[in-house]
């Protein structure tokens, strides 16, 4: 079923607009950064954690439509930022952002977005936009914010049409850290903030940063690992020089096949050497590619903090946090790759193990942030596989 492009007259007081590649214009009130941003429009069903969502590098080059209507009402703070690098380019929300009402708030959400250079658009029928994405797939679009309400719709639509989209795009190089880092951050406690990790006598994990969230490394440390984080394009020789007991493959944005052009050969070599490997999200997809599986772009993707995943070994259902638009194709897994988890929404792959290797991956985010913590055991499982040198 096709949905025709619509260009309604600009409503009085509209200071923001989302223009899809087909020319559809969705009006609202802009907030945050003043300007334009291009990306793929997706939707997220989480009811909490909008700040963590906006600072997740996996959302690079994406415009997030929040299905929960009240976004921004608890303000923003510095503790809930997941990364200092590029995240979502903007967000679309239903209700106008009200003044914050939370004891942890340090800044208003709109002011925080402006400081981060990200655009917000309120007053949008987010239910209708979400239904459109579910029907037609995630569209490319440009969002714009101008307090004077002056927009060139034809120019914005042209910009959206000419944007190449996420398929075939390597974004990990844009969001990965540039230098090696010894991770020292510990777990968060109310009123105390983030503690310091204790490295003494712990197995050493080298974490490859393809666009990581900080909470991942905090949970690796909490599970009992010493963590060294390295850039996405770190070579096998550089990784081996760090003498890891295991290697972690992080989440990240973009097409895994594109990032895999430089990442997969390194992962293959690690598997050949029987180095323990654990991958999540993009890292999970590239682990699959290294083992001979294929990945494909999804129609709408999975993004939210309420996704049920079935663990095939025992039938246990985990409620998980997800953020991905690509997936490992579970219709033709190669010999030696066993599926361990599946989505109860659509049956797509959510976990694999490489037989005869100490290597596994999951499509979802066991660190949550935001979301439930059903899957923290995976960090303990990985660290339990390691022998400290």
Rounded average pLDDT over 50-78: 97
What is the C-alpha separation between 225 and 245, in angstroms, rounded? 10
Rounded average pLDDT over 110-127: 98
What is the C-alpha separation between 257 and 326, in angstroms, rounded? 10
Burial profile 52-79: b = 16 or more Cβ within 10 angstroms, e = fewer: bbbbbbbbbbbbbbbbbeebbbbbbbee
What is the C-alpha separation between 293 and 276, in angstroms, rounded? 19
- From the number of C-beta atoms within 10 Å of its C-beta (0-12, 13-18, 19+), residue 270 rates as buried
Percentage above 90 pLDDT, the chain: 92
Rounded average pLDDT over 83-111: 96
Query: Is residue 3 over pLDDT 50?
Result: no
Rounded average pLDDT over 19-23: 97
Same structural domain, 353 and 206: yes
- The verdict on residue 368 lying in a domain is yes
Here the CATH number for the domain that contains residue 258 is: 3.40.50.880
**Domain total in the chain:** 2
pTM of the predicted model over 0.75: yes
Same structural domain, 65 and 194: no
Find tokens 């951050």 and name the residue: 185
Instruction: Name the band, by pLDDT with cuts 50, 70 and 90, for residue 325.
Output: very high
Q: What is the pLDDT of residues 250-283, one digit of tens each?
A: 999 999 999 999 999 999 999 999 999 999 999 9
Structure token digits, residue 77: 């703070």
Same structural domain, 38 and 62: yes
Rounded average pLDDT over 28-55: 97
Contact 193, 166 (CB under 8 A): no
Structure token digits, residue 151: 């927009």
Rounded average pLDDT over 220-229: 95
Same structural domain, 186 and 316: yes
Q: What is the pLDDT of residue 192?
A: 81
Here the CATH number for the domain that contains residue 20 is: 3.50.30.20
What is the C-alpha separation between 64 and 126, in angstroms, rounded? 11
Rounded average pLDDT over 2-16: 77
Last residue of a domain, one of 131, 162, 193: 162
- The verdict on residue 51 lying in a domain is yes
Q: What is the pLDDT of residue 197?
A: 76
Last residue of a domain, one of 128, 144, 162: 162
Same structural domain, 145 and 185: no
Same structural domain, 130 and 242: no
Same structural domain, 229 and 153: no
Same structural domain, 329 and 180: yes
Return the active site residues. 281, 365, 367
Last residue of a domain, one of 162, 194, 228: 162
Neighbouring residues of 60: CB distance < 8 A, sequence distance ≥ 6: 86, 87, 88, 89, 171, 174, 175, 211, 253, 254
Same structural domain, 212 and 321: yes
- The verdict on residue 137 lying in a domain is yes
Q: What is the pLDDT of residues 126-173, one digit of tens each?
A: 999 999 999 999 999 999 999 999 999 999 999 999 999 999 999 999
Domain that holds residue 215: 172-384
> What is the number of H-type helices and E-type strands within the chain?
10, 19
Residue-averaged pLDDT of the chain: 95
- The verdict on residue 2 lying in a domain is no
What is the C-alpha separation between 274 and 48, in angstroms, rounded? 39
Instruction: Name the band, by pLDDT with cuts 50, 70 and 90, for residue 4.
Output: very low
Instruction: Name the band, by pLDDT with cuts 50, 70 and 90, for residue 208.
Output: very high
Rounded average pLDDT over 219-239: 96
- The verdict on residue 11 lying in a domain is no
Same structural domain, 51 and 181: no
Q: What is the pLDDT of residue 191?
A: 83
Same structural domain, 128 and 77: yes
Same structural domain, 29 and 157: yes
From residue 143, alpha-carbon distances to 3, 33, 69, 238, 389 in Å are 20, 11, 19, 41, 51
């Amino acid at each position: 079923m096709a949905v025709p492009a619509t260009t309604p007259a600009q409503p009085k007081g509209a200071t923001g607009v989302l223009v899809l590649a087909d020319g559809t214009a969705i009006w609202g009130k802009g907030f945050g950064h003043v300007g334009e941003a291009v990306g793929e429009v997706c939707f997220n069903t989480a009811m909490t954690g909008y700040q963590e969502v906006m600072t997740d590098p996996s959302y690079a080059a994406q415009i997030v439509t929040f299905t929960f209507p009240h976004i921004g009402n608890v303000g923003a703070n510095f503790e809930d930022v997941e990364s200092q690098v590029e995240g979502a380019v903007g967000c679309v929300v239903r209700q106008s952002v009200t003044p914050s009402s939370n004891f942890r708030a340090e800044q208003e959400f709109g002011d925080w977005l402006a400081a981060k250079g990200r655009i917000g658009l309120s007053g949008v029928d987010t239910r209708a936009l979400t239904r459109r994405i579910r029907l037609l797939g995630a569209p490319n679009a440009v969002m714009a914010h101008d307090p004077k309400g002056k927009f060139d719709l034809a120019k914005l639509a042209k910009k959206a049409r000419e944007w190449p989209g996420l398929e075939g795009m390597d974004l990990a190089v844009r969001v990965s850290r540039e230098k090696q880092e010894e991770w020292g951050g510990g777990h968060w406690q109310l009123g105390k903030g983030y503690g310091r990790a204790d490295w003494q006598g712990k197995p050493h994990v080298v974490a490859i940063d393809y666009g990581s969230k900080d909470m991942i490394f905090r949970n690796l440390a909490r599970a009992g690992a010493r963590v060294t984080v390295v850039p996405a394009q770190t070579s096998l020789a550089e990784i081996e020089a760090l003498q890891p007991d295991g290697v972690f493959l992080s989440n990240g944005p973009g097409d895994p096949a594109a990032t895999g052009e430089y990442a997969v050969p390194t992962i293959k070599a690690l598997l050949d050497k029987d180095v323990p490997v654990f991958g999540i999200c993009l890292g999970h997809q590239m682990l699959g590619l290294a083992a001979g599986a294929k990945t494909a772009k999804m129609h709408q993707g999975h993004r939210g903090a309420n996704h049920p995943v079935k663990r095939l070994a025992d039938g246990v259902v985990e409620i998980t946090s997800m953020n991905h638009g690509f997936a490992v194709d579970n219709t033709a897994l190669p010999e030696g790759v066993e599926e361990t988890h599946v989505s109860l929404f659509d049956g797509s792959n959510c976990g694999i193990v490489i037989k005869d290797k100490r290597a596994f991956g999951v499509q979802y985010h066991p660190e949550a942030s935001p979301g439930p913590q059903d899957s923290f055991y995976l960090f303990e499982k990985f660290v339990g596989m390691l022998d400290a040198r």
